[in-house]
């Protein structure tokens, strides 16, 4: 028997069927051979610190379909393959190399941009390539990034004491955004506005900016302004420091001193000293001007720091006090920290030659000595004249030209108890009084205890030039011891004392 020929329908039917079975047979067969396949991705959320290593865990059973296992970041058209068996990112490695069930990977040097959701997926082979067979639930990864070290910046210009300036503290690249800022001046807290948080330059990170206003003081030369940042990723706060001297300017106090003080003698050398005190910063320029013309001065000291942190210096210029410089003005001009100049002026006054003393005796140094010498000489002359007058009067009282007075004292006997007058026994004394002296009536004083008597004069006789005579009748002379003769009366006195020598 001949075999039946195959018709067109019979001959063409098996081929499409075989092709369809070939397309559907693989998955169907794998599905039948992998009903118990399991893929486990246990991590829901993972937090890691930037710079550290991220570990993503995934395991599968052995009875899966033929095909690779991959790690994907994200899902859909924008996903990125992080790991596959044929190759992966340079920072990604498997925890167990060669294993068919453990697909755990490590991602080292994790960065904020690595944040996202990661999926472990099992693929199966097909005529069209690898097709998704099963995937895990995904692991949400957040990268905690530490904030950068705070940076404190000040204004672009310096300011003087009692002026207020803003200061800014910045830090960035941190995650999460929870961050706090504290400002301190010399360890004392100062008020500031809440920090401003903005998205960072890197994905999944943030930046921070905080501003504070500070009123400067002269004592802030050594003060520190501190910005203190606290973040969940930090065990201790991060500090940013700003020395306030960077923003502070203290203008100098300028004084010009003339030594010796004006006026000065002609041709004398004098020093003009410019004292520049209490300034900051150090940079300062000192120039001298004589009547507006700049002088060349080399004697300028270096700035010296004071215990308060400020600076001071002095500049000296020597000048010969010539006649043409009389009335000249000398100006010290100080330019500090590129500010407007500060000037102070002194004038040179020279003593005119007519008022000067001898060349070897400068007036100012020896004038008190001259006055003292003149006073001593005048005093000695007065004493000398008084002594000469006294000697002349004493000589007149003892010489021929001395006044005379006639005195008589009766002789006394040893038994006599009373005094008797004896015209033959007289003592005379001539008293010479100035002519035309007014007659003043005074009482005659006679002391019984004294051997002296006062004589009251009467107008001089017209025929006698310089003599006035008086008779003294000594009634009684006391036997008491003698006393020293009284001092001579003043020339204007109208009284005279006469001593009677005892017989």
Q: Is the pTM of this model over 0.75?
A: no
Cα–Cα distances in angstroms (integers) from residue 100 to residues 59, 62, 85, 228, 313, in the given order: 9, 7, 11, 51, 84
Helix (H) or strand (E) holding 15: helix 14-33
Tell me the domain boundaries of the chain.
37-144, 151-246, 253-355, 403-503
Six-digit token string for 374 = 């003149």
DSSP string of 357-406, one letter each residue: --TTS-HHHHHHHHHHHHHHHHHHHHHHHHHHHHHHHHHHHHSTTS-BEE
37-144 with 151-246: one CATH topology?
yes
Overall size of the chain counted in residues: 503
Query: Which CATH number, 3.10.20.30, 2.60.40.10, 3.40.190.10, 1.10.600.10, labels domain 37-144?
Result: 2.60.40.10
Say if residues 118 and 138 touch (Cβ distance below 8 Å): yes
- Supply 347's token pair: 């004038």
Q: What is the rounded CA–CA span in Å between residue 497 and residue 164?
A: 98
The CA–CA distances, whole Å, from 425 to 27, 208, 267, 339, 395 equal 193, 139, 85, 113, 27
Sheet with 196-199: strands ordered across: 151-153, 164-174, 206-215, 196-199
Q: What is the pLDDT of residue 311?
A: 96
Cα torsion 154, 156, 158, 161: sign: negative
pLDDT at 393: 83
DSSP, residue by residue, 472-485: EE------SPP-PP
Query: Domain 253-355 carries which CATH code?
Result: 2.60.40.10
Q: In the prediction, which pLDDT does 351 show?
A: 87
pLDDT at residue 484 in the model: 58
| Segment 405-419, tens digit of pLDDT | 344 444 444 443 334
Q: Which two tokens stand for residue 495?
A: 């009284």
> Are residues 104 and 94 in contact, defined by beta-carbon separation less than 8 angstroms?
yes
Return the pLDDT at 66: 86
Per DSSP bridges, beta strands 471-473 and 105-107 are unpaired
Q: Which residues pair with 226 in a beta bridge?
A: 184, 241
In CATH, 151-246 is 2.60.40.10: yes
Q: CA angle 40-42-45, nearest 5°?
A: 140
Gap between the Cα atoms of 325 and 268, Å rounded: 11
d(CA 15, CA 11): 8
**Tokens standing for residue 327:** 């009335």
Spans of the chain, pLDDT less than 70: 1-34, 299, 354-369, 398-503
Residue 253 three-state SS: strand
Which pLDDT tens digit goes with each residue over 157-175? 999 999 999 999 999 989 8
Torsion angle in degrees (nearest 10) through CA of 80, 85, 91, 94:
120
């Amino acid at each position: 028997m001949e075999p039946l020929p195959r018709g067109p329908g019979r001959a063409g039917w098996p081929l499409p069927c075989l092709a369809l079975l070939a397309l559907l047979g693989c998955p169907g067969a794998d599905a039948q051979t992998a009903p118990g396949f399991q893929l486990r991705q246990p991590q829901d959320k993972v937090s890691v610190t930037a710079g550290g290593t991220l570990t993503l865990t995934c395991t599968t059973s052995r009875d899966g379909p033929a095909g690779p296992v991959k790690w994907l970041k994200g899902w859909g058209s924008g996903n990125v393959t992080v790991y596959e068996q044929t190759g992966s990112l340079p920072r990604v490695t498997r925890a167990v190399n060669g294993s068919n069930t453990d697909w755990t990977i490590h991602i080292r040097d994790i960065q904020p941009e690595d944040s996202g959701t990661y999926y472990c997926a099992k693929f199966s082979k097909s005529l069209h390539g690898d097709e998704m067979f099963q995937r895990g639930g995904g692991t949400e990864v957040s990268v905690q990034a530490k904030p950068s070290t705070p940076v404190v910046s000040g204004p672009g210009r310096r300011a003087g004491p009692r002026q207020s300036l803003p200061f800014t503290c910045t830090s960035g690249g941190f995650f999460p955004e929870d961050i706090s800022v504290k400002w301190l001046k010399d360890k004392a807290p100062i008020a500031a506005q809440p920090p401003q948080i903005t998205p960072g330059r890197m994905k999944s990170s943030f930046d921070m900016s905080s501003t504070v206003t500070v009123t400067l003081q002269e004592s802030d030369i050594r003060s520190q302004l501190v910005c203190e940042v606290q973040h969940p990723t930090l065990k201790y706060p991060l500090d940013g420091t700003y020395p306030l001297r960077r923003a502070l300017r203290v203008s100098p106090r300028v004084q010009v001193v003339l030594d010796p003080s004006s006026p000065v003698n002609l041709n004398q050398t004098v020093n003009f000293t410019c004292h520049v005190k209490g300034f900051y910063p150090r940079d300062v320029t000192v120039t001298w001007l004589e009547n507006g013309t700049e002088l060349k001065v080399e004697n300028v000291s270096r700035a010296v720091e004071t215990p308060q942190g400020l600076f001071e210096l002095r500049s000296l210029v020597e000048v010969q006090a010539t006649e043409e410089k009389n009335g000249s003005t000398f100006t010290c001009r100080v330019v500090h920290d590129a500010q407007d100049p500060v000037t102070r002026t002194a004038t040179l006054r020279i003593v005119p030659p007519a008022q000067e003393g001898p060349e070897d005796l400068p007036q100012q140094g020896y004038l008190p000595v001259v006055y003292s010498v003149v006073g001593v000489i005048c005093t000695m002359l007065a004493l000398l004249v008084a002594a000469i007058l006294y000697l002349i009067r004493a000589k007149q009282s003892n010489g021929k030209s001395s006044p005379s007075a006639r005195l008589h004292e009766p002789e006394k006997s040893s038994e006599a108890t009373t005094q008797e007058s004896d015209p033959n026994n007289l003592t005379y004394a001539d008293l010479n009084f100035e002519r035309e002296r007014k007659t003043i009536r005074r009482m005659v004083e006679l002391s019984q205890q004294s051997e002296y008597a006062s004589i009251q004069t009467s107008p001089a006789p017209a025929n006698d030039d310089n003599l006035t005579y008086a008779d003294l009748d000594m009634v009684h002379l006391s036997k008491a011891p003698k006393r020293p003769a009284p001092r001579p009366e003043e020339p204007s006195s109208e009284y005279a004392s006469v001593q009677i020598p005892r017989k």
